[in-house]
Each structure stands twice: as structure tokens, then as C-alpha cells.
């Protein structure tokens, strides 16, 4: 932690390696599994930040196995921990270029979410957020059929919820939304095809945020860069003026700003006042572009925000329209 605070990232990663090696060979006491998984999670994420995605996958598989083995056969005593560990694995596999394996993990997460919601109906909102986020992933790889199926299932689940609910579980729901939202925006954050680095991204840094990870997991040097990048995106939007010359590029900037703001969200009021209006503006821009894929992404983004805010009826409407647009 102290190395990370002073931006000595290589030394921080070496310390994480040493801590993980020690945890594997000693008895950490009654809470051994919990302590070991936390240490291994820090190592896996440090490896991913350094771009060593294959090694991150190997460590993350250890974490998944520890969570799976923590209960009786066929049961997950802590389904949220299993789901989060699987999501991290799916992200690392994708970053390592193992798309097929990553999508298999996506399906396992969805199966777990369905089973959890069936056993505990109060978790249905969380399940719908996972489904909508997975639909974004399938859209990103061009699998419209799978995306439509998930959107139909999500709409049916929304229809069983109160039209307007509370946000008592705001922290968990917003955490899931932010991670899935950030993951779906990762392609917009990467220089591809020889194009220059997107506004707000510094490819020269030795560490980069890992798409799909919430801010509290990131090294302090990465957090600093992420906030500075948001400032640069804000300025680019101001500079674009009231009538942008490049509407599609402007729409992408709006989406990237909404993603970064969502990850940095400070609570329910911040989310309601900042994120929800930003998502609505993104939908308005995409409607004018007449691009079905872009509009469906914006509508799913908006639905995720409505779900976090407890507006299930509005979420269902956005998801239904997104499914029709795919």
C-alpha cells in the first residue's frame, strides 16, 4: 500500500507477489480463506494493471476455486463473492485474448444470478443489472441474438418488480452497474487501428485502469490518471460547442464521461443528479445518429441507471426498445 501511495508500482507488485507466496504456505487462522483471497485479488489486479493478463488469469482461477470450495457441494454460501470473482476472471480472460473462455464464464455468472434470484426474490434487480451488462458485452462482439435473448429475459423480470422502488441496496447495485458499464466502454478507451489515443487516456503510463474494475481496487497512480482523464473529457465536450462537427464522436465522449462519472459516483444523490441526466442526454444524441447498435447501447446504459435508481418500469421500457433496435 505504501509503495502504491508513492506510485512505486513495480515495488508494489513485487510486494504483492511476496504476500501471495507467503499466504499460500502458511495458516492464516480461522479466516484463512477470506484473507488469502483478498491477498490474491490484490495480486491479480496488480498483474492486470501491469498488462500481464495471462498471469492475472492464473491467479484469478485460484480465487474462483477458493470461493467455490467454501461451501457444501453444489452450493455457494456467498454467491456475490463467487459472481464477482467470476466477473474478474471473465475480464482478465477477455483482456488476454481468450474470448471464447471469457464468454463461457459470462454464462456461468448469469446461471448463478438466475439461481440466486430464484432463491431470494429480493435479488431480482441485481440479476437484471447483470443481464443488461452482459447484453452490452454480447453487442460488443456482434452477437445480437444472445443480446436480444438477455434483453427479453431482463424485461420480463423488470415487469415483475414494482414500477418505482427504493434504493436501499444502492451500493451493491451501483457497484455492479459501474463495473459492467466500464467494461462495455473499454473499446472506446483503447487506441486501435493506428488512431491516436482517445481524449483522457495516457498510453505512456506504466499502469492503466483495468476496464471493468471499480475505482477502489486501482493503484493510486491509476486513480490520479483516471480523474485527470475525466477533466480532459469534460473540456473536450465544452470545446465541441452546442453544435458538434462530429456528432458520433461527441456521443462517444458523452458515453465515456458518463462511465467515468459512474465509477467515481459518491452516492445516491450524486447518481440521481449527475448520472441519470447524462444517460438521458446520451440517448437523445444517439437517436439523431440513426445507428441501431449505438442507440441500443445508449438505451441499455440508461436502463442500468434506472435500475440502480429503483425505476423498474422505465428500465423495462429502455430495455424493450434496445431489444427492438438490436
Could you give the dihedral angle defined by the CA atoms of residues 129, 130, 131 and 133, in that order, rounded to the nearest 10 degrees?
Answer: 80
* Residue-level pLDDT at 29: 58
Confidence band, pLDDT 50/70/90 cuts, at residue 259: very high
- Provide mean pLDDT across the span 127-147: 94
Q: Give the pLDDT confidence score for residue 73 in this predicted structure.
A: 46
* DSSP type of residue 216: G
Distance from C-alpha of 262 to C-alpha of 183, rounded to nearest angstrom: 12
pLDDT of residue 111: 94
- Segment 187-194 long-range contacts (CB within 8 Å, at least 24 positions apart): 187/140, 188/252, 188/255, 188/256, 189/256
pLDDT tens track for 227-247: 999 999 999 999 999 999 999
Output phi, psi for 150, to 5 deg. -65, -40
Residue-wise DSSP of 243-268: S-S-HHHHHHHHHHHHHHHHHT--SH
Q: How far apart are alpha carbons 178 and 186 in whole angstroms?
A: 12
Q: From residue 293, how far is each of 270, 283, 322, 324 by CA, in Å?
A: 29, 12, 9, 11
In angstroms, how far is the first alpha carbon of the chain from the final one?
Answer: 44
- What pLDDT is stored for residue 209 in this prediction? 87
Note the Cα 297 to chain centre separation in Å. Answer: 14
Query: Is 264 in contact with 230 (CB distance < 8 Å)?
Result: yes
Band of the pLDDT at 187, cuts 50, 70, 90? confident
- Mean pLDDT: which of 7-16, 31-40, 193-202 is highest? 7-16
CA atoms within 13 A on the CB side of 284: 7
Between CA 165 and CA 242 the distance in angstroms is: 36
Q: Are 110 and 134 in contact (CB under 8 A)?
A: yes
**Rounded Cα gap, residues 20 and 12, in angstroms:** 12
Q: How many whole angstroms separate alpha carbon 202 and alpha carbon 205? A: 6
Within a 10 A sphere around the Cβ of 181, how many other Cβ atoms?
Answer: 27
Q: 276-317, pLDDT tens digit by residue? A: 999 999 999 999 998 999 999 999 999 999 999 999 999 999
Burial class of residue 168 in the structure, from the number of CB atoms within 10 Å of its CB (0-12 exposed, 13-18 middle, 19+ buried):
exposed
Amino acid at each position: 500500500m505504501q509503495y502504491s501511495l508513492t506510485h512505486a508500482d513495480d515495488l508494489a507488485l513485487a510486494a504483492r507477489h511476496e504476500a501471495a507466496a507467503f499466504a499460500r504456505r502458511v495458516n492464516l487462522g480461522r479466516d484463512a480463506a477470506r484473507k488469502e483471497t483478498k491477498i490474491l485479488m490484490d495480486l491479480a489486479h496488480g498483474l492486470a494493471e501491469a498488462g500481464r493478463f495471462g498471469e492475472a488469469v492464473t491467479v484469478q482461477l485460484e480465487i474462483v476455486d477458493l470461493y467455490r470450495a467454501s461451501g457444501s457441494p453444489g452450493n455457494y454460501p456467498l454467491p456475490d463473492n463467487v459472481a464477482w470473482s467470476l466477473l474478474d476472471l471473465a475480464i482478465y480472460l477477455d483482456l488476454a485474448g481468450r474470448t471464447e473462455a471469457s464468454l463461457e464464464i459470462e454464462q456461468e455468472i448469469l446461471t448463478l444470478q438466475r439461481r440466486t434470484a430464484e432463491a431470494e426474490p429480493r435479488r431480482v434487480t441485481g440479476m437484471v443489472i447483470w443481464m443488461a451488462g452482459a447484453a452490452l458485452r454480447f453487442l460488443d462482439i456482434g452477437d445480437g441474438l444472445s443480446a436480444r435473448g438477455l434483453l427479453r429475459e431482463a424485461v420480463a423480470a423488470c415487469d415483475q418488480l414494482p414500477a418505482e422502488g427504493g434504493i436501499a441496496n444502492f451500493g451493491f447495485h451501483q457497484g455492479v452497474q459501474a463495473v459492467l458499464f466500464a467494461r462495455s466502454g473499454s473499446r472506446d478507451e483503447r487506441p486501435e487501428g493506428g488512431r491516436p489515443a482517445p481524449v483522457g487516456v495516457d498510453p505512456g503510463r506504466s499502469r492503466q485502469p483495468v476496464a471493468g474494475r471499480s475505482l477502489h481496487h486501482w493503484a493510486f497512480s491509476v486513480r490520479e490518471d483516471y480523474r485527470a482523464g475525466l477533466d480532459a473529457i469534460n473540456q473536450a465536450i465544452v470545446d465541441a460547442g452546442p453544435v458538434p462537427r462530429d456528432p458520433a464522436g461527441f456521443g462517444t465522449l458523452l458515453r465515456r464521461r458518463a462511465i467515468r462519472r459512474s465509477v467515481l459516483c459518491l452516492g445516491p444523490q450524486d447518481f440521481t443528479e449527475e448520472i441519470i441526466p447524462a444517460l438521458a442526454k446520451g440517448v437523445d444524441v444517439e437517436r439523431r445518429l440513426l445507428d441501431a447498435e449505438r442507440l441500443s447501447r445508449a438505451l441499455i446504459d440508461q436502463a442500468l441507471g434506472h435500475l440502480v435508481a429503483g425505476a423498474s418500469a422505465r428500465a423495462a421500457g429502455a430495455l424493450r426498445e434496445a431489444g427492438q433496435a438490436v
